[in-house]
Amino acid sequence: MLHGPPADVPRIASTLTNCFTDVSHWCAAKRLQLNASKTEVLWFGSAVNLSKMSPSESVVCTCSTAVDSTTVVRNLGVMFDAELSMREHVSRVAQVFFFHLRRLRPCALD
């Protein structure tokens, strides 16, 4: 994990690009392939600092593919957003809960 002020975003993006290249080479050596289309990049920070970043600065390259940053990523079933507020995760959990609750309701009426 890299960190720094918004002014360091180009340096951090360059370091991440080098890291993706190293991972891709390691995968190739093990006869594996990095799926760049499923790779996501999420920049964490306060709303003020995230607004200081230009969209072109936040792009990270993986070998031949440019990966745009996203606002929400999922890791092991948990939804993380850029401000670590967990709004998206709570919303999804509530949505699934109410879906299953509605599915159980007709059974309870029998």
Q: Could you list the pLDDT tens digit for every one of the 110 residues in the chain? A: 677 787 888 888 888 888 888 888 898 899 998 887 787 888 888 888 777 777 777 777 776 777 777 788 888 888 888 788 888 888 888 998 999 888 887 665 55
Q: What is the per-residue pLDDT for 31?
A: 93
Q: What is the per-residue pLDDT for 109?
A: 58
Q: What is the per-residue pLDDT for 29?
A: 93
The answer to whether 67 and 60 have CB atoms below 8 angstroms apart is yes
Residue whose entry in the numeric block shows the structure tokens 């995968």? 27
Q: What is the per-residue pLDDT for 74?
A: 82
Residue range(s) defining the domain that contains residue 53: 6-109
Cα 68 versus chain centre, distance: 10
- Give the residue among 6, 78, 81 at the shortest CA–CA distance from 42: 81
Report yes or no on 46 lying in a domain.
yes
Number of domains in the chain: 1
Report yes or no on 67 lying in a domain.
yes
- Dump the DSSP string for 45-63: --HHHHHTS-TTTT-EEET
